[in-house]
Amino acid sequence: MTPFARNPVAARHAKHLNAPFVELLDVLGFGRVYTRASGTWIWDEEGRRYLDALAGFGALNLGHNPPRIAARLRAFVDAEAPNLYHVGPSPYAGELAEALAARMPAPLRVAMFSSSGAEAVEAGIKLARAATRRSALIHCEGGYHGTNLGTLSVMDAPRLRGPFEPLLADCRAVPFGDLPALERALKDARAAAFVVEPIQAEAGVRLPPPGYLREAAALCKRHGTLFVLDEVQTGLGRTGSLWAFEAEGFTPDVVALAKSLGGGMMPIGATVTSEALHHAAYGSADRFDLHGSTFGGNSLACVAALETLRTIEDEQLVQRSAELGARLLGGLRTRLADHPLVTDVRGRGLLVAVEIGPTGADWMQRVAAGAVTIAAEKAIGQWLAVQLLEDGVLCQPAARAWNVLKLQPPLVAGEAEIDRLIAAVGDAFDANRRLPEVAARLSARLVRRSVARVVA
């Protein structure tokens, strides 16, 4: 048994929560127990410090334990204000809904609250079905919307979907960025909703072609289909604008938010739409309660979200995201320009990706491009993430594209931390320039860890 497996925190997690998860952490070399976090940094129990370029998969736009959010939550608890009650209007939920409406273009004026991104997207799906009286749903290949049954239904992810099928009927996937395919689906399906992300973060930070989302929204309107935009990971300044759709020049019918809305300290999701659509779905005495959840819009979460919105504005984090994102993207492009395994460096704001694959840089890549592709998709991304962890940087490949290293540090990062990230990524790639060397090092690491586990 390795030291990590013997660690009481890891052992308890394995016994009572998720044994395969702990096993995988150990095998891959991610075995750490983290004990403290502040801003853009996180510490393990050995006292080692890591620059967090994962940011809770986008939930920590304000960094770890943001002081303003913590202070506001303490003040709320000290005031003994009511948190959960369902027999009267909540001043906190009302204020948050008004604050979101003030920050979104018309006609997005009504919010429904939940506790997660998957719930927020599913609320959008339910709203679309109830408002349009249609059942079909269209979604994009490569999308990621959560692991509830409803959200899995609008994802083309066989490994994630398989154990739970059959899921919702009348769901159809179209290629991301393909307007003719979307139009065909809209004509055939008479769909209630088109569910899509403005940037496919977990598919490898895939940006849409210029004008795609705007034209897709126009097509949806023409066919009576609601445009449901999943901004769970891209919203609240992550991409250099408050909402990613602002950069695309259109307004969706429904916007789903979550992750960093609670300041990284409280779970909260929001589904924002127009008064007309909300009325069509739930605007009568016999329909007002067709959607809701016990903790959706609880006072404590709303207080955290309100302070998050104020912090983003007061600290100019949207502008900071745009500026630091340009610094990160430009620095990585310069540093990795001649790397034989880097096929692309792309992103928007502080959501940046380095894609790994065959470039034809040497004879082996030209002869065995398929082998390079398979190695990149199965192992190289995780291997580089391990190398970065050992160099004091926390990051991960995209969940649905392991050949893409995804970098999304908190928006409160400084220039020095962005430069540190560029240097660390550059060093990791410099040490892994040729596939045979990468394969040899990775194999040796796995053998050593396997032997250590057997011996222990």
pLDDT band of 358, cuts 50, 70, 90: confident
pLDDT in tens, 108-140: 999 999 999 999 999 999 999 999 999 999 999
pLDDT in tens, 7-52: 999 999 999 999 998 888 887 788 899 999 999 999 999 999 999 9
| pLDDT of 447 above 80 | no
**How many whole angstroms separate alpha carbon 343 and alpha carbon 330?**
15
Is the model's pTM score more than 0.85? yes
Strand ranges in 291-386 using DSSP code E only, listed in sequence order: 342-348, 351-356
Q: Which of 426, 429, 425, 433 is nearest to 51 (CA)?
A: 425
Q: Which fold has domain 67-314?
A: Aspartate Aminotransferase; domain 2 (3.40.640)
pLDDT band of 446, cuts 50, 70, 90: low
Task: Check if CATH label 3.90.1150.10 holds for domain 32-65+316-455.
Answer: yes
**How many whole angstroms separate alpha carbon 299 and alpha carbon 22?**
35
| pLDDT of 454 above 60 | no
pLDDT band of 452, cuts 50, 70, 90: low
Chain centroid, CA 228 distance in Å: 16
236 close to 260: Cβ distance less than 8 angstroms: yes
**How many whole angstroms separate alpha carbon 122 and alpha carbon 129?**
11
pLDDT band of 442, cuts 50, 70, 90: confident
All structural domains of the chain with their residue ranges: 32-65+316-455, 67-314
331 or 434, which is more confident? 331
DSSP class of residue 208?
A: P
| pLDDT of 88 above 80 | yes
Please tell me whether residue 325 adopts helix, strand or coil conformation.
helix
pLDDT band of 377, cuts 50, 70, 90: confident
| pLDDT of 79 above 60 | yes
DSSP class of residue 133?
A: -
Q: Which of 204, 157, 197, 233 is nearest to 401 (CA)?
A: 204
CB atoms within 10 A of CB 405: 30
**Residue 350 confidence (pLDDT):** 98
Average pLDDT, the chain: 93
1 or 316, which is more confident? 316
DSSP class of residue 378?
A: I
User: Could you tell me which residues are beta bridge partners of residue 345?
Assistant: 354
| pLDDT of 375 above 90 | no
